[in-house]
Amino acid sequence: MTETFAIDPALVERYIMDLARHGAHGETGVWRPVYSEAWFGAQRQVEAWMQAAGMETWWDAVGNVWGRVQGTEDDGQGVILTGSHVDSQLPGGRYDGVLGVISGILAVQTLVERFGRPRRTIEVVSFCEEESSRFPTAHHWGSRAVAGAIAPEDLKNVVSYDGEPIGEVMRAAGFDPDAVATAKRDDIDIFIELHIEQGPILEQMDTPVAVVTGITGIRHYHVALRGRADHAGARPMDTRRDPMAAAAEIISTAIDTAHRMGRPAVTTVGRMFVEPNGAAIVPELVRLTIDARHPDPELRELLYARHEAMMREVCNRRDIDLSWTLGAEQPPRVSDPELVETFVDAAREQGLKYLTMPSGAVHDANRMAGFTRMVMLFVQSKDGRSHTPDEYTSPEHAAAGVQLLAAGLHRLAYG
């Protein structure tokens, strides 16, 4: 017999709006950095909802909030975990991360009310930090802790935009930074993260949900182009060593390279600094960033190689000194094929229109995929907007995501 799950869109919307009160910014925005009072308020609300849903709850050493429904069979298969985060960009919107936490709570509550305790243990997590909006090098602090990827020196070296070491901020917030290692978990078998898409594909295809096949790989280049400063009128064009001209060609060609490779390859140049930055001066130095992403391991390397060969060729031809360092570097993460199949089957069973697609953004699921089986679910984002107070997901689309999550969890934990 096919089990179908009816999720009330008004209930999902009420949860979203209740959580949005913590750190409300303007009419629709949220300002909720990790370890702030607004963040504490949101985490306490999440814990209260977990308890109301019948879960055992606890906070770990870094501030992740956990809820558990113990399975009836202890067969060594490991925990099935779902969740996301509640910290925000500054300002961000009401849905990024939050929908994944709320969906986990509502899906588990729906299953327990209908079928009782699951055969396999299910947990829901609200990770303490994903956005790096307060600590730029935190890199998913909550899921890093669960993965055991926080080194003791990180407590001093991860510093906020205001110069505060994260260890000191944690201690002031009531956490023991010396206990970070206790947050590591080695008993999680499956991690499922529901998230707003943050892009336009689902809306363009008039589809409410997607099963994510993998998460993009990402590399940040911090590029320096050094030439020679000269007078903008007296120096002939054919004798210049102009790093701005090289930068213009590099930017145009890098973006065009990703465009020619086709979806889902992307490349972005988002920052530039010019010295001496005068209207009548050929620049001496141009610094810029290149963000290159692809979810396919082989095509990712091809994209990177093309960018690097192009930069060398442009600078050799224009007599520009080229150097770069690498910043963010994350490999692609492929979703577990069996989990993808499970949720595709669940979508069909529920009569939900769906797509399969990669994720162009990175998530806590990147960290979790290093030691668990992983899959993500996407829910449509209006106009593809995210990381802005303008982000929006309709209650109906959000409810469809909860329905898909509940159906998949039912297959995994009750079957």
Helix boundaries (H) for 21-88: 37-52
Tell me, which fold does domain 217-330 have in CATH? Alpha-Beta Plaits (3.30.70)
Rounded-to-integer distance, Cα 239 and Cα 312, Å: 20
Structure confidence by residue, pLDDT tens digits, 234-258: 999 999 999 999 999 999 999 999 9
Please give the mean pLDDT across all residues of the chain: 97
Instruction: Work out the average pLDDT over 99-123.
Output: 98
Half-sphere exposure of 107 (CA within 13 A, CB side): 34
Q: Where in the chain is the domain with CATH 3.40.630.10?
A: 9-215+332-414
Q: How much is the pLDDT for 7?
A: 97
pTM beyond 0.75: the answer is yes
Q: How much is the pLDDT for 76?
A: 82
Q: Who contacts 333 (Cβ-Cβ below 8 Å, separation ≥6)?
A: 214, 215, 365, 366, 369, 370, 374
- Is 358's pLDDT higher than 90? yes
Rounded-to-integer distance, Cα 137 and Cα 158, Å: 6
Structure confidence by residue, pLDDT tens digits, 44-94: 999 999 999 999 999 999 999 999 999 999 778 999 999 999 999 999 999
Structure confidence by residue, pLDDT tens digits, 119-175: 999 999 999 999 999 999 999 999 999 999 999 999 999 999 999 999 999 999 999
Give me the CATH code for the 9-215+332-414 domain, please.
3.40.630.10
Structure confidence by residue, pLDDT tens digits, 250-306: 999 999 999 999 999 999 999 999 999 999 999 999 999 999 999 999 999 999 999
Q: How much is the pLDDT for 1?
A: 63
